[in-house]
Amino acid sequence: MTTLTGETFESVDPATGAVVGTHPVHTADQVEAAVAAARDAADWWASLGFAGRAERLARWRAALARRMPELCRVITAETGKPAGDAQLELVLAIEHLAWAAKHARKELGPQRRAPGMLLANQVASVEYHPLGVVGVIGPWNYPVYTPLGSISYALAAGNAVVFKPSEYTPGVGRWLADAFAEAVPEHPVLQLVTGFGATGAALTTAGVDKIAFTGSAATGKKVMASAAETLTPVVIEAGGKDPLLVDADADLEAAADATVWGAFSNAGQTCAGVERVYVHERVYDAFVDKVVDKARKVEAGEHYGPMTMPSQVDVVRKHIDDALARGGRALVGGNGAVGERFVRPTVLVDVPEDCSAVREETFGPTVTIAKVADMDEAIEKANDSPYGLGSTVFSKSRGMELARRLRTGQTAINAPLSFAGIASLPFGGSGESGFGRIHGPEGLREFARPKSIARQRFTAPIALTSFARSKRTEAIVGKLIAKLHGKR
């Protein structure tokens, strides 16, 4: 939570309202100056090559791992999340950083490609060069894991980064940038700019080579429109309304556990958190009983923290009220669950599919559970959403089949959110959830420019690209291609 005070703003502990830090509101001029400084740093960083960068990224990684408790305290102070959850996001971020640094050469270094028969005299290769300066705009819900999903991969690919953290978590951003500067003191390869939306907007027009945005779909659209003015490419990681499917043969205990964790951990403020559940009618009653039993044991303030952003409390209340007014029932929680800072777990059933609680991102500790006649209906309802980020399937026999039919960027089978911890897997969405990919080889390439090179090894017997080309050559090539490709 933040308060504007002139040229600086305060970050606030959302659980207590106490001020925990003061940070500058960077102006458009200051953002431009940061990007200009990053341009020089980018040349140096790129010149280090994969090994030089990996060594320096390992220093930063080691500092993050050694000083975990210190950074966790900053995360908890600004988001209100429990220390264990702060550590979990940090652990995953460190794994991703290690993977990106280790695999950058293999994924981005020179790779041979087949030149094809007509140009068999050529050696063809592709390699992935850094873009230059990447602007990263981050959210507050996972203030380390989420921005590092872009920052680690952009740095490993050889770019300098200017990072604008959320106005709710500037202290976490400051900590990360300071730790990087200690590990890599030579040049400002990772810089921080702080402030509100205007500072983020300034970054989109400050001359960066790409913007990696993570936040709401509404802001993502503004970022894309602004970046379009200079044809600056963007990767948009936006929100979700992630479904979880429970098949008739599912392990109900595990499915209920995943539902409760996926929906309520981090107070439901997880882009790929579970918001809707579709359950086969044969196991619906047994599954709901298990979820209710587990949800009753989850305590706001103990198992998860407060709502980090005060305005989200109203959204959660509206979604619950709408669901109840339209015939839904709260088996756990309900409108009384929404407090001033904390929201208790809420399990909703019998909610019409066109309610805001089913259609829009709630981003709170609530979940809707609906009965379906079969898994075809579950797939149809799950896919009937403007979002397409993550999904989960619980099924013993049809996990892969159902996962493939879900129109989301990633699906976890028989475990909650497992894809987010596997560094080699790309992560991203479609529709209102955005586009482009972070993490994995695709995440490295998102921050690189493919460079194709064709090197001639010897003069071709058949010269096609010369005015010296003869009619005879043309006839030979015509016949050859007709013979090769003319058959069906």
Residue 215 lies near ligand NAD (rule: CB under 6 A): yes
Among the listed residues 150, 191, 214, 385, the single contact to ligand NAD using CB under 6 A: 214
Active site residue 237: yes
Residues 444 to 463 in contact with ligand NAD, rule: CB under 6 A: none
Beta bridge partners of 450: 128
Choose between 89 and 322: whose C-beta lies nearer to ligand NAD.
89
| Cα 272 to Cα 240: distance, rounded to the nearest angstrom | 6
Judge whether 316 and 366 are in contact, CB under 8 Å: yes
Q: Is residue 431 close enough to count as binding ligand NAD by CB under 6 A?
A: no
C-beta of 150 vs 259, nearer to ligand NAD: 150
- Please state, in angstroms and rounded to a whole number, the distance separating the CA atoms of residues 399 and 143: 32
Q: Which of these ranges, 54-62, 179-187, 198-206, 291-299, lies near ligand NAD under the rule CB under 6 A?
A: 198-206
Cα torsion angle, 134, 139, 143, 145, sign = negative
Please report, as residue ranges, which positions from 342 to 401 form the binding site for ligand NAD (by CB under 6 A): 361, 363, 389
Q: Does 166 bind ligand NAD (CB under 6 A)?
A: yes
Q: Judged by CB under 6 A, which stretch of 25-33, 77-85, 194-202, 457-465 contacts ligand NAD?
A: 194-202
Binders of ligand NAD among 225-284, rule CB under 6 A?
Answer: 237-240, 271
Closest distance between ligand NAD and the C-beta of residue 136, in Å?
Answer: 10
Nearest Cα to Cα of residue 305 among 344, 276, 359, 248: 344
210-214 and 133-137: which strand pairing?
parallel
As measured in angstroms, the least distance from the Cβ of 363 to ligand NAD is 6
Beta carbons of 136 and 152 less than 8 angstroms apart: no
Please confirm, yes or no, whether 78 is among the known catalytic residues: no
- Cβ at position 234, least distance to ligand NAD in Å: 10
User: Nearest approach, Cβ of 198 to ligand NAD (angstroms)?
Assistant: 7
Q: How far apart are CA 443 and CA 345, in angstroms?
A: 34
Looking at 2, 76, 79, 141, which residue binds ligand NAD (CB under 6 A)? 141
By CB under 6 A, residue 38 contacts ligand NAD: no
Rule CB under 6 A: say whether 423 interacts with ligand NAD.
Answer: no
Closest-by-Cβ residue to ligand NAD is 200
Q: Which DSSP letter does residue 390 get? A: E
Question: How many Cβ atoms from other residues are within 10 Å of residue 359's Cβ?
Answer: 18
Nearer to ligand NAD, 20 or 208 (CB): 208
96 vs 399: CA distance, rounded Å: 26
CB of 259 to ligand NAD, least distance (A): 18
Of 39, 222, 317, 407, the one binding ligand NAD by CB under 6 A: 222
Identify which of residues 333 and 436 has a Cβ nearer to ligand NAD in the complex.
Answer: 436
If one asks whether residue 201 binds ligand NAD (CB under 6 A), the answer comes out as yes
CB-based contacts of 25: which residues, under 8 Å, 6+ apart? 4, 7, 8, 9, 194, 195, 196, 199
Q: Tell me: does residue 158 bind ligand NAD (CB under 6 A).
A: no
Q: Report the SS3 class of residue 487.
A: coil
**Please, which residue, 141 or 408, has the CB nearer to ligand NAD?**
141
Q: Is 154 in the site for ligand NAD (CB under 6 A)?
A: no
Shortest Å, Cβ 38 to ligand NAD: 17
For residue 258, give Cα distances in angstroms to 244, 299, 361, 392, 447.
9, 16, 19, 9, 33
Catalytic residue (choose from 271, 355, 361, 446): 271
Residue 96: partners with Cβ closer than 8 Å, 6 or more residues away: 145, 148, 149, 152, 153, 423, 439
Name the token pair of 303: 């198992």
Contact 180, 172 (CB under 8 A): no
Cα separation of 210 and 97, whole Å? 20
82 binds ligand NAD (CB under 6 A): no
Instruction: Please state, in angstroms and rounded to a whole number, the distance separating the CA atoms of residues 197 and 469.
Output: 60
Sheet holding 274-280, edge to edge: 329-332, 346-349, 366-372, 274-280, 242-246, 390-394, 410-413
Helices (H), ranges, 229-270:
252-264
Catalytic residue (choose from 78, 89, 167, 237):
237
Asked if residue 140 binds ligand NAD (CB under 6 A), the reply is yes
Return the amino acid letter for 456. Q
Q: Residue 13, interface with ligand NAD (CB under 6 A)?
A: no
- The closest of 197, 92, 58, 41 to 438, measured between CA atoms, is 92
Of 24, 52, 115, 197, the residue at the interface with ligand NAD (CB under 6 A) is 197
Provide the greatest CA pair distance for the chain: 86
Scanning residues 274 to 333, which ones bind ligand NAD (CB under 6 A)? 309
Please give the single-letter amino acid code of residue 335. Answer: N
The single residue listed with the structure tokens 């407060």 is 306
Q: Which stretch binds ligand NAD (CB under 6 A): 51-59, 137-145, 285-293, 343-351?
A: 137-145
Residue number, 164 or 210, with CB nearest to ligand NAD: 164
Least distance in Å: CB of 307 to ligand NAD? 11
- Selected from 205, 219, 266, 395, the binder of ligand NAD by CB under 6 A is 219
Residues tagged active-site = 237, 271
Interface residues toward ligand NAD, by CB under 6 A? 137-142, 146, 164, 166-167, 196-197, 200-201, 204, 214-216, 219, 222-223, 237-240, 271, 309, 361, 363, 389, 429
